[in-house]
């Protein structure tokens, strides 16, 4: 096993330097206060009701007759929008949320389609808001070119849509080219998926680790228990390296219930680098919820117990530093947020939607008491977005008699994080580039309404990126800011051309703007 002291030189070099040493000193000072209570304030909340469905084939046929918290399966001609195990900020007011394998296990999720939904929360805040979440669209994961390497549930079905019997997808990141990288639990695998949802490569297996659910092995013969794969997976600020993290220890570990592994994966070389770190849980019964990068060596981790409602005792976000390990080789950790102790001085949680009889954890001390909390997104150096996985229809953490909703909460931290500006700017730039390409294609095919919509979304993302550029390290980002401003002007001109019916000129403008957005993206460090 590697510690930070025995990592390959390129990895260690990325995490050192004078800035790293200064951060290390600060980290060590903060670590001495790791057990103290940290203040945090609820700044926004939005709720997607549990009973929310999208078109699709009948689902839930394999989970039993129910009822489960008042819900009776199956669900004719529809798919529940639930189980958000990964979330990405798109930088334009929307988020991509990824549903996991469906209903909890491989055997009961063969009729659950693996999807990524684009949602737009309208947060209730101190100044208003309706707390609703709009589902704008979804993308299905497919394997038309048979990249998976094993028979899937829809092996001979047109479209070869992937299901919860094929992969248990738990973590997601966007690559520099707009494609998606997904962490799976069944392999555990790292999956590479096109922006359209098509599997691009064969699943990348984890060196030395095979789950009991691995499709290439007899059931139960792996060295990792079921449902303990890549629950979290961060990406480096420049978009090159992934950090997939196991939710459980190996069967052969001497202290198997406390040790979790973090790996490093190079998206350019398309392989694991050998970088490896260990994380120690607070309690043997706890589990990982998510992993996200703050900068090139600090990360946020959700750690949670297996309880819900009033029984929930630990639902926390910690900060770790991969460049700092203790004498046993475990990364140090500092508490950042206690999700069971959030101040709500403005009454956001009780404003809208109105509390229901039996609701728990709403009010002055707001609690996020869900059994699985699997999404954290950095919105700013001092504000996080946290989302639960509601395990529809089984979990009932907010109300003992009702299935959990998907709740989106914004939380203001007491102390700002040392967030690399690239972490904040990158999502908006990727979204702008993606929408500009969509606008160009739509313009050339005569779909003017679609082109205008994509162009407008690109402009919204560029505005957010510009504001972030100016707010964080403006001198460092000055050249890239100029590219962004030029792209914005080209996009505005292209939209005018579109209104005049000059589709080819509009498309050319969108493509030129997209090229400039590429120049504004962070450079890959070698």
Where residue 428 sits, what CATH number does that domain have?
1.20.120.660
> Torsion angle, CA of 503/509/515/521, rounded to 10 degrees?
-110
Asked if pLDDT for residue 11 goes beyond 90, the answer is no
Looking at the fold, whether 400 and 436 belong to one and the same domain comes out as no
Looking at the fold, whether 372 and 426 belong to one and the same domain comes out as no
Q: ω into residue 353 within 30 of 0, thus cis?
A: yes
Asked if pLDDT for residue 285 goes beyond 70, the answer is yes
- Position 2 scores a pLDDT of 39
Give the pairing of strands 95-99 and 383-388.
Answer: unpaired
Angle between helices 503-520 and 421-444 (to 10 degrees): 160
Structural contact between residues 440 and 446, judged by C-beta atoms closer than 8 angstroms: no
The token pair at 376 is: 């954290």
Q: How far apart are CA 103 and CA 83, in angstroms?
A: 8
Q: What angle do CA 511, 513, 516 make, to 5 degrees?
A: 115
Q: Helix or strand or coil: residue 393?
A: coil
Per the structure, the count of domains in the chain is 2
Has this prediction a pTM greater than 0.85? yes
Range of the domain at 462: 421-520
> Torsion angle, CA of 330/335/341/345, rounded to 10 degrees?
-160
Asked if pLDDT for residue 262 goes beyond 60, the answer is yes
Confidence band (pLDDT; 50, 70, 90) for 257?
low
Looking at the fold, whether 443 and 300 belong to one and the same domain comes out as no
- Position 459 scores a pLDDT of 96
Question: Which residue(s) pair with 276 in the sheet?
Answer: 263
Q: Please give the average per-residue pLDDT across 118-137, as a whole number.
A: 97
- Position 523 scores a pLDDT of 81
Q: Across the chain, what does the average pLDDT equal? A: 91
Q: Of 362, 392, 413, which residue constitutes the final position of a domain?
A: 413
Looking at the fold, whether 225 and 253 belong to one and the same domain comes out as yes
Looking at the fold, whether 434 and 370 belong to one and the same domain comes out as no
- Position 409 scores a pLDDT of 98
Residue 526 covered by a domain: no
- Position 475 scores a pLDDT of 73
CATH assignment at residue 276: 2.120.10
Confidence band (pLDDT; 50, 70, 90) for 526?
low
Asked if pLDDT for residue 28 goes beyond 90, the answer is no
- Which residues contact residue 29 at a Cβ distance below 8 angstroms, ignoring those fewer than 6 apart? none
Which has the higher per-residue pLDDT, 475 or 379? 379
Q: How far apart are CA 159 and CA 143, in angstroms?
A: 8
Burial letters 135-156, b for 16+ CB under 10 A, else e = eeebbbbbbeeebbeeebbbee
Looking at the fold, whether 453 and 404 belong to one and the same domain comes out as no
């Amino acid at each position: 096993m590697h510690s930070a002291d025995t990592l390959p030189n390129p990895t260690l070099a990325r995490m050192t330097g004078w800035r790293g040493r200064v951060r290390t000193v600060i980290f060590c000072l903060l670590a001495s206060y790791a057990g103290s209570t940290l203040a945090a304030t609820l700044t926004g909340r939005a709720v997607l009701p549990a009973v929310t469905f999208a078109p699709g084939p009948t689902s839930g046929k394999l989970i039993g007759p129910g009822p489960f918290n008042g819900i009776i399966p199956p669900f004719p001609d529809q798919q529940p929008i639930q189980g958000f195990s990964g979330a990405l900020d798109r930088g334009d007011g929307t988020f991509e949320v990824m549903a996991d394998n469906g209903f909890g296990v491989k055997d009961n999720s063969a009729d659950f389609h693996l999807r990524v939904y684009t949602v737009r929360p309208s947060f209730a805040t101190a100044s208003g808001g309706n707390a609703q979440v709009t589902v704008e669209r979804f993308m299905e994961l497919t394997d038309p070119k048979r990249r998976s390497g094993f028979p899937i549930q829809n092996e001979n079905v047109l479209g070869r849509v992937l299901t919860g019997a094929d992969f248990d997808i738990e973590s997601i990141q966007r690559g520099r080219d707009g494609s998606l990288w997904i962490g799976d639990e069944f392999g555990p695998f790292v999956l590479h998926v096109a922006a359209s949802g098509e599997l691009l490569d064969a699943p990348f297996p984890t060196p030395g680790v095979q789950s009991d659910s691995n499709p290439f092995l007899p059931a139960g013969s792996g060295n990792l228990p079921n449902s303990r794969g890549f629950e979290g997976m961060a990406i480096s600020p420049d978009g090159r390296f992934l950090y997939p993290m196991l939710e459980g220890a190996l069967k052969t570990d001497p202290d198997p219930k406390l040790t979790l592994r973090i790996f490093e994966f190079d998206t350019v070389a398309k392989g694991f680098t050998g970088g490896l770190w260990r994380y120690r849980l607070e309690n043997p019964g706890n589990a990982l919820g998510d992993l996200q990068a703050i900068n090139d060596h600090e990360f946020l981790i959700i750690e949670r117990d297996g309880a819900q409602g009033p029984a929930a005792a630990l639902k926390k976000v910690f900060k770790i530093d991969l460049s700092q390990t203790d004498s046993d080789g475990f990364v140090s950790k500092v508490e950042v947020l206690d999700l069971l102790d959030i101040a709500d001085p403005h009454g956001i949680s009780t404003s809208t939607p109105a509390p229901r009889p039996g609701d728990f954890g709403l009010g002055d001390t707001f609690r996020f008491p869900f059994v699985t909390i699997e999404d954290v997104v950095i919105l700013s150096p001092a504000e996080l977005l946290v989302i639960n996985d509601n395990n529809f229809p089984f979990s009932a953490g907010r109300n003992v008699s009702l299935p959990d909703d998907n709740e989106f909460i914004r939380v203001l931290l007491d102390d700002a994080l040392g967030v690399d500006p690239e972490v904040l700017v990158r999502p908006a730039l990727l979204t702008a580039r993606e929408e500009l390409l969509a606008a160009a294609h739509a313009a050339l095919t005569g779909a003017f309404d679609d082109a205008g919509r994509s162009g407008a979304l690109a402009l919204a993302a560029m505005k957010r990126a510009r504001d972030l550029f100016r707010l964080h390290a403006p001198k460092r980002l000055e050249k890239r800011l100029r590219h962004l401003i030029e792209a914005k002007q080209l996009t505005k001109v292209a939209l005018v051309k579109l209104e005049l019916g000059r589709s080819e000129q509009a498309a050319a403008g969108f493509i030129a703007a997209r090229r400039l957005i590429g120049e504004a993206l962070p450079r890959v460090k070698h």
